[in-house]
C-alpha cells in the first residue's frame, strides 16, 4: 500500500514537471548563439502587450454590455407593445360597454318621458270616467220605459233610444281607452325596470373593465420605472429614429418625382390628418395638446369638415358608405380587428395614418403590413369647395 502511494506521488510530480517545464524554459536565452549587436533593431514606442490586451478586454466588455442593454431595450419594447395591444382591446371593450350604457340611458330618458305622458293621460281619462260614473249615479241616463212611452211620440222615442245607445257606446269606448292607457303605463314601467337592470349590469361591467385597464397601466408603469438610464437612452434614440423615419417617409411620399405619390392638397382630409403626425397616443384622447387615440384622431379630423363622429371605432364603422379594399380612396376610413378595435385614415398608395397604441405616436403605416384589415367606410364623398 505504501509503495503504491509512493509511485502515485512520483508520477504526479513527474507530470507536473512535464507541464511546467515548457513555461519555465520559454524565456531562457540560447547562450550558444551569438547575435551581433549591430543587427539588433529596436522599435520605438512598442506597445505594451498587457495594456493592449486590457484595452481589448475593456472594449469587448463595453460591447457586450451594450448588446445586453439593447437586448433589454428590445425585450421591454416587446413587453410594452404586448401591453399596448391588450390595452387597445380592453379600451375597445370599454368603449363598447360605454356605448351600450349611453344607448340605455337614452332609452331610459325616452321611457321616463313616455311614462310621464302616459300617466298624465291615464289620470285625465280616469277623471273623465269618474265624472261619467258620478253623472250616471246622480241623474241617470235611462228613464223608466213607461214614462218614455207615455210622454213621447214614436219619433221622439226612436231618437232618445238611439241617443242612449250612442251614450252606451261612448262609455264602452271610454272604458276601453282607459284600460289601454293603463296597459301602456304598465308596459312602460316594465321596460323601465328592465333598462334599470341593464344599466346596473353594464355599470358593474364597466367598473370591471376599468379596473383591468388600470391594472395594465400599472404594469406598464412598473416596467417603465424599472428601466435604467442607459436602456432608456436606447429606447429614446429608437423613438427619435422612428420619428425621423416618419418625416422622411412623408417627404418621400409627397414628392411629385416619386412613382407612388400621395396627394396632400391643402383643405383635404389627408392634409388635415398629417398635421397631427408625432402626437403621442393617449387613451381616450381627442385633444392634440394632450394626445390622441385612433378614433380620437379620426374624430377631430372630420370635425374640421363639419362631421361629428362618435369617439369609438366600432361605431364609426357603422357610418358612411361601405368601400371595397380595391376601391379605397384618400380620406376613407380603414378598420382593423374582429371585432373592430382600430381605425385609421387612408392616404393613398397603400398608406394610412393612425394613432397605433400606447407608448407610440400618430404615424403613417403601410396597409399591407397588417393582416387584420376588416372593412372600410367613406364618410365624405366630396368635400365642399374642392
Other Cβ atoms within 10 Å of 171 Cβ, number: 15
Contact 297, 314 (CB under 8 A): no
Query: What would you report as the CA-atom Rg of the chain, rounded to the nearest whole angstrom?
Result: 44
Q: How far is the C-alpha of 143 from the C-alpha of 162, rounded, in Å? A: 14
**Is 354 in the active site?**
yes
Active site residue 4: no
What is the per-residue burial (b if ≥16 Cβ within 10 Å, else e) of 236-255?
eeeeeeeeeebeebbeebbe
- Give, in order, the Cα–Cα distances in Å from 199 to each of 90, 195, 208, 284, 360: 20, 6, 14, 22, 34
Burial 89-115 (b: 16+ CB within 10 A, else e): ebbbbbbbbbbbbeebeebbeebeebb
Which residue of the set 270, 294, 311, 341 is catalytic? 294
Which of 270, 311, 341, 342 is flagged as catalytic? 342
Sign of the torsion angle spanned by Cα atoms 252, 258, 261, 266: positive
Ordered strands of the 321-323 beta sheet = 321-323, 373-378, 333-336, 342-348, 351-354, 363-366
Cα 297–Cα 300–Cα 302 angle in degrees, nearest 5? 105
341 is catalytic: no
Of 37, 215, 50, 186, nearest to 119 by C-alpha is: 186
Identify any residues that bridge with 365 across adjacent strands, giving them in sequence order. Answer: 352
Cα torsion 65, 67, 69, 71: sign = negative
Cα 136 to Cα 255: distance, rounded to the nearest angstrom: 92
Residue from 4, 311, 354, 375 carrying the catalytic annotation: 354
Contact 347/364 with Cβ under 8 angstroms?
yes
33-62: b or e for each residue (b if 16 or more CB lie within 10 Å)?
eeeeeeeeeeeeeeeeeeeeeeeeeeeeee
Hunting for cell 393582416 — which residue is that? 371
- Residues catalogued as catalytic: 294, 342, 354
Amino acid at each position: 500500500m505504501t509503495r503504491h502511494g509512493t509511485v502515485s506521488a512520483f508520477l504526479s510530480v513527474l507530470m507536473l514537471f512535464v507541464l511546467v517545464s515548457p513555461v519555465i524554459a520559454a524565456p531562457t536565452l540560447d547562450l550558444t548563439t551569438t547575435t551581433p549587436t549591430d543587427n539588433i533593431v529596436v522599435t520605438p514606442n512598442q506597445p505594451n502587450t498587457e495594456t493592449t490586451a486590457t484595452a481589448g478586454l475593456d472594449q469587448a466588455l463595453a460591447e457586450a454590455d451594450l448588446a445586453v442593454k439593447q437586448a433589454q431595450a428590445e425585450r421591454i419594447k416587446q413587453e410594452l407593445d404586448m401591453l399596448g395591444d391588450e390595452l387597445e382591446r380592453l379600451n375597445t371593450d370599454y368603449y363598447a360597454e360605454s356605448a351600450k350604457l349611453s344607448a340605455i340611458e337614452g332609452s331610459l330618458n325616452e321611457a321616463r318621458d313616455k311614462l310621464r305622458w302616459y300617466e298624465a293621460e291615464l289620470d285625465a281619462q280616469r277623471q273623465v270616467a269618474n265624472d261619467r260614473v258620478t253623472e250616471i249615479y246622480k241623474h241617470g241616463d235611462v228613464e223608466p220605459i213607461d214614462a218614455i212611452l207615455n210622454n213621447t211620440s214614436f219619433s221622439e222615442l226612436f231618437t232618445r233610444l238611439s241617443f242612449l245607445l250612442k251614450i252606451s257606446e261612448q262609455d264602452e269606448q271610454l272604458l276601453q281607452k282607459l284600460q289601454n292607457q293603463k296597459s301602456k303605463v304598465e308596459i312602460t314601467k316594465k321596460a323601465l325596470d328592465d333598462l334599470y337592470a341593464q344599466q346596473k349590469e353594464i355599470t358593474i361591467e364597466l367598473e370591471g373593465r376599468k379596473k383591468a385597464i388600470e391594472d395594465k397601466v400599472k404594469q406598464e408603469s412598473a416596467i417603465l420605472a424599472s428601466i435604467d438610464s442607459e436602456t432608456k437612452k436606447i429606447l429614446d434614440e429608437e423613438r427619435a429614429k422612428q420619428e425621423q423615419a416618419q418625416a422622411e417617409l412623408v417627404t418621400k411620399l409627397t414628392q411629385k418625382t416619386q412613382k407612388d405619390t400621395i396627394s396632400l392638397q391643402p383643405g383635404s382630409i389627408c392634409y388635415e390628418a398629417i398635421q397631427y403626425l408625432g402626437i403621442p397616443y393617449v387613451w381616450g384622447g381627442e385633444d392634440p395638446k394632450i394626445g390622441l387615440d385612433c378614433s380620437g384622431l379620426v374624430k377631430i379630423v372630420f370635425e374640421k369638415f363639419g362631421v361629428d363622429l362618435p369617439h369609438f371605432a366600432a361605431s364609426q364603422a357603422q357610418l358612411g358608405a361601405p368601400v371595397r379594399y380595391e376601391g379605397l380612396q384618400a380620406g376613407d376610413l380603414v378598420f382593423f380587428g374582429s371585432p373592430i378595435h382600430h381605425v385609421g385614415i387612408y392616404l393613398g398608395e397603400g398608406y394610412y395614418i393612425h394613432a397605433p397604441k400606447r407608448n407610440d405616436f400618430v404615424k403613417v403605416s403601410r396597409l399591407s403590413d397588417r393582416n387584420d384589415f376588416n372593412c372600410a367606410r367613406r364618410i365624405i364623398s366630396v368635400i365642399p369647395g374642392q
